[in-house]
Amino acid sequence: MQVLQWLTYAGVFVLIAIGIKSILSEHLRHGYILFVFALLMMLNLVILHRTGSGNTFLRIFIGIVAALFIYLVATGGESNTGPLWFYVFPPLIFYMLGLRQGLVVMTSCLLVIAVIFKFPELPFVITEYNPDFQLRFLTSMTFVTVFSYILDFSRRRARNDLIDLAERYDLASRTDELTRLSNRRDMRNRLDTEYYRFKRHGHHFSVVLMDIDHFKRINDGYGHDAGDEVLKDFAKLLKEHSRHLDVISRWGGEEFLILLPETSLVQALALAERLRFAVESAEFSYQSMLIPVTMSAGVCSISQFESIEGLLRQTDINLYEAKMKGRNRIVPMVKSTSRPEEHDSESV
pLDDT at residue 325 in the model: 94
Q: Are 120 and 127 in contact (CB under 8 A)?
A: yes
Average per-residue pLDDT in the chain? 90
What is the mean predicted confidence (pLDDT) over 148-167? 93
Please state whether the peptide bond connecting residue 332 to the residue before it is cis, i.e. omega within 30 degrees of 0: yes
Burial 191-226 (b: 16+ CB within 10 A, else e): beebbeebeeeeebbbbbbbbbbbbeebbeebeeeb
**Does residue 294 sit in helix, strand or coil?**
coil
pLDDT at residue 146 in the model: 95
Residue 4 pLDDT level (bands cut at 50, 70, 90): confident
Query: pTM for the whole thing?
Result: 0.63
Q: What domains, with CATH codes, occur in the chain? A: 2-170 (no CATH), 184-347 (3.30.70.270)
What is the mean predicted confidence (pLDDT) over 177-189? 94
Each residue of 202-225: pLDDT tens digit? 899 999 999 999 999 999 999 999
- For residue 342, pLDDT beyond 70: no
Rounded to an integer, what distance in angstroms lies between the CA atom of residue 242 and that of residue 250?
15
Each residue of 13-54: pLDDT tens digit? 999 999 999 899 888 999 999 999 999 999 999 988 888 888
Each residue of 258-315: pLDDT tens digit? 999 999 999 999 999 999 999 999 999 999 899 999 999 999 999 889 899 999 999 9
pLDDT at residue 186 in the model: 95
User: Using only C-alpha atoms, what is the Rg of the chain?
Assistant: 35
Residue 338 pLDDT level (bands cut at 50, 70, 90): very low
Q: Are strands 330-331 and 295-301 parallel, antiparallel or unpaired?
A: parallel
Backbone angle region of 285, left / alpha / beta, with phi > 0 → left and psi within -120 to 50 → alpha: beta
Single out the residue of 246, 161, 166 nearest to residue 210, CA to CA: 246
247-252: strand order across its sheet: 247-252, 255-261, 205-212, 295-301, 330-331
What is the mean predicted confidence (pLDDT) over 85-103? 89
Beta carbons within 8 Å of 222's beta carbon, 6+ residues apart? 286, 289, 291
What is the mean predicted confidence (pLDDT) over 319-341? 78
- For residue 347, pLDDT beyond 50: no
Q: How far is CA 158 from the centre of its chain?
A: 16
- For residue 68, pLDDT beyond 80: yes
Rounded to an integer, what distance in angstroms lies between the CA atom of residue 297 and that of residue 34?
77
Single out the residue of 243, 287, 241 nearest to residue 263, CA to CA: 243
Q: How far is CA 79 from the centre of its chain?
A: 50
Three-state SS string over 47-68 comes to HHHHHCCHHHHHHHHHHHHHHH
Single out the residue of 186, 284, 21 nearest to residue 194, CA to CA: 186
